[in-house]
Amino acid sequence: MGLKQNLHNLKEKYKGKKMAPAFNALHTFLYLPNETTHNGTHIKAADDLKRTMNTVIMALVPCLIFGMFNAGYQHYLALGEIQQADGFLGASFWTLDNFIIGAWTVLPLVVVSYGVGLAVEFLFAVIKGHEVEEGYLVTGMLVPLIVPVDIPLWMLAVAVIFGVVIGKEVFGGTGMNILNPALTIRAFLFFAYPTWMSGDKVWVHGAVERAGTPDAISGETILGAYAQNTSLAGIDYWDMFWGIIPGSVGETSKFLIIIGALFLIFTKVGSWRIIFSTLIGALVMGLIFNGVVEAGWIGDTSKFYGLMSVPFWQHLIIGSILFGAVYMATDPVTASQTNKGKWIYGFLIGFISIMIRVFNPAYPEGVFLAILLMNVFAPTIDHYVIQGNVKRRMKRVKVKAA
């Protein structure tokens, strides 16, 4: 009772003052205030923005935990201290040593992402005098999952500031932005620090030399190997599906991403139309490239041959196309809102993603650029879908009137 009274007193103390938004954000972090809408509302439902964001975070947590294990596993594998893991459930993968090394490097990314991003959110809320919005809860979790595990923390902090300010706040905050903030952060890192985002290094922890060999052990990712027409060094399709491969923290395990997708679809937070249409677009583009190779229009000496010759279905288990389709393309603010628009929007994301992946061998991944591009065109897609519906209805009215 005393704690409740003290909180009430603090709320009254900050009420109407400049720091009220910051206090209210901390005060209601895990619950909603006991307030009801006094004016007329169009829709009444049990869910709200905070609950929606927490649902997405729950879908991301398995990818985060797996990413920690995989970061430690890739570290020891690159050093030659362990052999290739014996499957997804193998004892050599789910070890405490792997988790400790992975957590030691992944958790700072999470702390910096949330710390810097929320600081910017609080600053804008205090300056503008509006409540702190919950939109960054998901962005703060997504950012550590889509960057290389060894990216410098100061670099990540700069990118987060840019992404939150330019990608969201200048448009008016959550619900007003036209670009996905997490992908804006990723794009800033890609263009400002391309050597850190190339994805052609296997991260190794520690600044010591082992047997005269420095830490920077080079090793390509799956996409990098395909782009350079090199072998996959014993990695099979099941390794790609389960996620026991190099890559960004959250993108490798397609199994856990599928589980997260089913969870988001079941809770009606993620759009199944966008997810499926994105995958269909990727498969269609992959089939086109396979047809080009089979027709002999491009030789095996071409720099595009490696990724063009990849079986079309395999594009879904390499790189981050599946992660982008489930967690990025489905952003309800920046995606298309009409049902038909969602099919068009998602299809073009998948189609363009594979096109960029193949034609940009220097950086063989394109899903984040494709999603950002379609974020810009999403309102246009919805506009023409709505105008098409209006024209069809007007025709029906004229027919009945005649």
Which pLDDT tens digit goes with each residue over 249-283?
Answer: 888 899 999 999 999 999 999 899 999 999 999 99
Q: Which residues contact 171 (CB under 8 A, 6 or more apart)?
A: 177, 178
pLDDT band at 219 (very low <50, low <70, confident <90, very high): very low
The mean pLDDT value of the chain amounts to: 80
Q: Which two tokens stand for residue 195?
A: 């050597």
Judged against a pLDDT cut of 80, whether residue 182 lies above it is answered with yes
Cα–Cα distances in angstroms (integers) from residue 348 to residues 327, 353, 355, 373, 377, in the given order: 16, 8, 10, 10, 10
Higher-pLDDT residue of 78, 250: 250
Q: What is the pLDDT of residue 21?
A: 56
Nearest to 226 by CA among 249, 245, 253, 248: 245
Q: What is the pLDDT of residue 35?
A: 59
Q: How many residues does the chain have?
A: 402
- Cβ atoms within 10 Å of 257's Cβ, excluding its own: 25
- C-alpha to C-alpha distance for 51 and 317, rounded to whole angstroms: 30
Q: What is the pLDDT of residue 240?
A: 87
170 three-state secondary structure: helix
pLDDT band at 236 (very low <50, low <70, confident <90, very high): confident
pLDDT band at 208 (very low <50, low <70, confident <90, very high): very low
Give mean pLDDT, residues 121-147: 79
**The model scores a pTM over 0.95:** no
- C-alpha to C-alpha distance for 12 and 15, rounded to whole angstroms: 5
| DSSP state, residue 313 | G
Nearest to 108 by CA among 147, 63, 75: 147
H helices of 324-366, in order, are 339-359
pLDDT band at 218 (very low <50, low <70, confident <90, very high): very low
Amino acid at 58: M
Judged against a pLDDT cut of 80, whether residue 66 lies above it is answered with yes
Q: What is the pLDDT of residue 352?
A: 95
Judged against a pLDDT cut of 50, whether residue 216 lies above it is answered with no
Q: H or E segment at 398?
A: helix 367-401
For 36-45, 86-95, 138-147, 190-199, which range has the lowest pLDDT when averaged over its residues?
36-45
Nearest to 251 by CA among 103, 102, 104, 63: 63
Q: What is the pLDDT of residue 402?
A: 64
For 23-32, 93-102, 379-388, which range has the lowest pLDDT when averaged over its residues?
23-32
Q: Which residues contact 139 (CB under 8 A, 6 or more apart)?
A: 117, 163, 164, 181, 182, 185
pLDDT band at 198 (very low <50, low <70, confident <90, very high): low
Q: Which residues contact 266 (CB under 8 A, 6 or more apart)?
A: none
Most confident of 19-23, 34-38, 134-138, 294-298: 294-298
Helix (H) and strand (E) counts for the chain?
15, 0
Judged against a pLDDT cut of 60, whether residue 50 lies above it is answered with yes
Percent of the chain scored above 90 by pLDDT?
Answer: 34
Give mean pLDDT, residues 345-357: 94
Judged against a pLDDT cut of 80, whether residue 324 lies above it is answered with yes
Radius of gyration from C-alpha coordinates of the chain = 23
DSSP lists the bridge partners of residue 201 as 218
- C-alpha to C-alpha distance for 77 and 69, rounded to whole angstroms: 12
Judged against a pLDDT cut of 70, whether residue 201 lies above it is answered with no
Q: What is the pLDDT of residue 7?
A: 47
Judged against a pLDDT cut of 90, whether residue 155 lies above it is answered with yes
